[in-house]
Structure 1
Amino acid sequence: MPTHQLKQLVDALHPLPNLAWDDFVRIWQPFSAKRKTLLTVAGEREHYLYFVAEGVQRVYYLDEQGREATLVFTYAPSFGGVVDALMLQQPARYFYETLTPSVFLRASFTDLQAVMQQHPAVETMIRLGITQALSGVLERLVELQCYSSTEKFRTLLRRSPHILQVVPHKYLANYIGVDPTNFSKLINSVKG
């Protein structure tokens, strides 16, 4: 049940008083998407915060030459979407795409904003979630600037041991910054 998963995630971030939880859980609507569905398109506004109940998604950047940079993967149980665009109410700079069939709960920015204004505990929980995400981004920047491909891959496997089973290898190669043809060599070198 997605609302049970949502409650567990919220409790891990910052447990909400009963009334705040009741109002918060009411703003979420079920949503599902097929594999390879663009949920957010760069240049357009992000309208929703997603809670991932099933499936795997990625946020990626596409440059003028058509090169992709996979920035982050999302999977259950976690929040997803292009959160900076949502919270700043600016056009997204990134794409949010399903890699597998996915099941979500999603909340509109308008509803999220209203419940945060009504319940400071909800705003605190969202702030803590965003702060944890920022901490992860800063760790990722260190990895990108200081780690070898092998170290990036080992770190990814420590953080998400199941990732090889759920994310297509071409996206993992892109995330690490290696050519997909060399990715199997990287897997063998790390496992060996």
Structure 2
Amino acid sequence: MKFFKLKNELNYSKSHTLILNNIGRFIELTELEKQKYLSLLTEIKVKKKDFLMQAGDITTYEYFITKGCLKVYTLDEEGAPHISMFAVEDYWTGDMSSFMTKTPTRYFIKAIESSELLGISKANYDLLFQEIPKFERFYRILYQRSLVSYIRRSNHGISLTAEERYMAFKTKYPEIIHRVTQKDLAAYIGITPEFMSKIISKVNRM
């Protein structure tokens, strides 16, 4: 199976440059490989407050955010949201389990801001590994880093106070802290919005 005909010019768009730079941190691609990879991507736009994915859907893409901010969350038995991730520019998101096994996801992905993404379908994902095997290394690193982040976040939930979790988030993600509401931040930290407000007031007085 062959890729699309290559472009004559190498003037990449801003979104293509962003994803190529992200990949370039871990593997080196030739210009031919870059164009082959880009030919497999689909441009996706989602308006503010719209869903990119909902629980019960089968995930058809792995997503890379080129513009905007989204939240990834589940709902508990009482319908309360538990946010596991905020995804902004230069982040990957999706549900790899649903994507790989073609089973329904339990996650929601909702746009906090109008957002633009690049998606790769399962068929093109499989084709990518056949045509450019070095991408197996890239995705392995990507998933390993995601697992480490998940374990660290779980440990923080056990070992840190709510205030310490907030400070850790503020320090690690300064580019996100002002783009999300206190309510969403509380759902990420794992506390009530009222308690979140008290923590922010206390920290601001320090």
Is this a same-fold pair by TM over 0.5?
yes
Residues 1:187 and 2:187 aligned together: no
Larger relative contact order (C-alpha < 8 A, sep ≥ 6)?
1
Partner of 1:54 in structure 2?
67
Contact 1:16–1:122 under 8 Å retained in 2: no
Shift of 1:122: 1.0
Letter aligned with residue 39 of structure 1: L
Q: TM-score, normalised by structure 2?
A: 0.88
More helix by share: 1
List aligned pairs for 1:111-190, cutoff 5 A: 111-190=124-203
Match in the other structure for 2:104: 91
How much does 1:51 deviate?
A: 1.0
Q: TM-score, normalised to structure 1's length? A: 0.94
Contact 1:49 1:106 in 2 (8 A): yes
Cα distance in 1 for residues equivalent to 2:95 and 2:166: 24
Percent of aligned positions with the same letter in both sequences? Answer: 25
Q: Give the drift of 1:80.
A: 1.5
Q: Return the alpha-carbon distance in structure 2 between the equivalents of residues 126 and 22 of structure 1.
A: 18
Moved more, 44-53 or 76-85: 76-85
Query: Matched residues in 1 for 2:96 and 2:111: separation?
Result: 16
How far 1:77 moved relative to its partner?
Answer: 0.9
Instruction: Kindly indicate whether the alpha-carbon contact (under 8 Å) linking 1:40 and 1:82 is maintained by their aligned counterparts in 2.
Output: no
Distance 1:187 1:16 in 2: 44
- Distance of 2:143 and 2:153 partners within structure 1: 15
Larger radius of gyration: 2
CA deviation digits over 1:8-55, x for unaligned, max 9?
110113233444332212111221110111111112200011110111
Q: 2:54 aligns with which of 41, 45, 51?
A: 41
Structure 1 gaps of 5+ residues are none
Q: Which residue of 1 aligns with 2:8?
A: none
Which letter does structure 2 place at the counterpart of 1:36? Answer: K
Counterpart residue identity of residue 104, structure 2 = P
Is the partner of 1:106 in helix, strand or coil?
A: strand
**Comparing 76-85 with 172-181, which one deviates more in the overlay?**
76-85
Residues 190 and 83 of structure 1: is their aligned pair in 2 closer, same or farther, counting only changes over 3 Å?
farther
Contact persistence 1:60–1:69 (CA under 8 A): yes
Distance 1:13 1:89, change over 3 A: farther
Q: What's the secondary structure of 1:45's corresponding residue?
A: coil
Matched, 1:79 2:92: yes
Rate the CA distance shift 1:84–1:15 in 2: closer, same or farther, 3 A. farther
Q: Which amino acid aligns with 2:157?
A: L
CA displacement, residues 135-170 of structure 1 (integer Å, 9 cap, x when unaligned): 111110101111100110111111101222111221
Is the 2:88–2:176 Cα contact (8 Å) retained in structure 1?
no
- Pairwise CA distance, 1:83: 2.5
Amino acid at match of 1:120: P
Question: RMSD in angstroms over aligned alpha carbons?
Answer: 1.4
C-alpha distance in 2 between matches for 1:20 and 1:189: 51
